[in-house]
């Protein structure tokens, strides 16, 4: 089993959100209020991928498992306020010192703060890396 944890540290400033007043019709008052500045942790994304003991040489390596969204943000403007779940997968090929592959996950919310929008999020990340003989690697994740 391979585990992949993402816990973002976020800083944002001058974020503006609409302020809706009781007299507004359709939520379009044209009045906007700044939410100021926030720094803290975003929501945790935890993936688990199945992993056999040894991959077959020269073959594409494929892993699949669940991904979880945990509402762990330290500020209401830094997270979704929702619990989420979905599939995650990675496919990669190793040829000599090169590794080339693609990571994908999809998360849909199933619980959380009712005032927050539901989560329906897909993530696709191609990657390539080169490992030198001294085991130092250089890579590109897009």
Whether pLDDT at 92 is above 70: yes
Output the pTM of the full model: 0.75
Neighbours of 71 (CB within 10 A): 19
| Residue at 20 is within a domain | no
Domain interval for residue 123: 2-7+42-141
| Residue at 31 is within a domain | no
Indicate the range of 50-54, 60-64, 101-105, 120-124 predicted with least confidence: 50-54
| Residue at 58 is within a domain | yes
Q: Provide the 3-class DSSP secondary structure of residue 55.
A: coil
CB 65 within 8 A of CB 88: yes
CA separation for the pair 70, 112 (Å, rounded): 10
pLDDT digits (tens, 9 = 90+) for 20-66: 454 444 444 555 555 678 899 999 999 999 977 766 666 888 899 99
| Residue at 37 is within a domain | no
Strand ranges across the sheet with 44-49:
2-6, 44-49, 60-70, 82-95, 98-112, 120-131, 137-141
Q: What's the rounded mean pLDDT across residues 56-79?
A: 88
| Residue at 22 is within a domain | no
| Residue at 130 is within a domain | yes
Instruction: Return the pLDDT at 25.
Output: 44
| Residue at 49 is within a domain | yes
Instruction: Return the pLDDT at 40.
Output: 93
Predicted confidence band of residue 76 (pLDDT cuts 50, 70, 90): confident
| Residue at 12 is within a domain | no
Tokens for 66, please give them.
């669940």
Total domains present in the chain: 1
Give the helix ranges, DSSP H, for the chain: none
Instruction: Return the pLDDT at 123.
Output: 95
């Amino acid at each position: 089993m391979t585990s992949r944890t993402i816990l973002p540290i976020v800083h944002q400033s001058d974020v503006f959100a609409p302020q809706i007043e009781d007299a507004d019709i359709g939520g379009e008052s044209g009045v906007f209020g700044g939410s100021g500045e926030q720094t803290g942790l975003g929501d945790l994304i935890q993936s688990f991928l199945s992993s056999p003991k040894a991959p077959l040489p020269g073959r594409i390596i494929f892993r699949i498992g669940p991904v979880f969204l945990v509402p762990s943000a330290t500020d209401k403007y830094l997270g979704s306020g929702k619990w989420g779940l979905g599939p995650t997968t990675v496919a990669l090929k190793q040829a000599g010192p090169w590794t080339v592959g693609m990571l994908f996950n999809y998360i849909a919310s199933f619980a959380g703060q009712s005032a927050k929008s539901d989560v329906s999020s897909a993530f696709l990340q191609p990657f390539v890396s080169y490992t030198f003989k001294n085991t130092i690697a250089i890579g590109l994740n897009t």
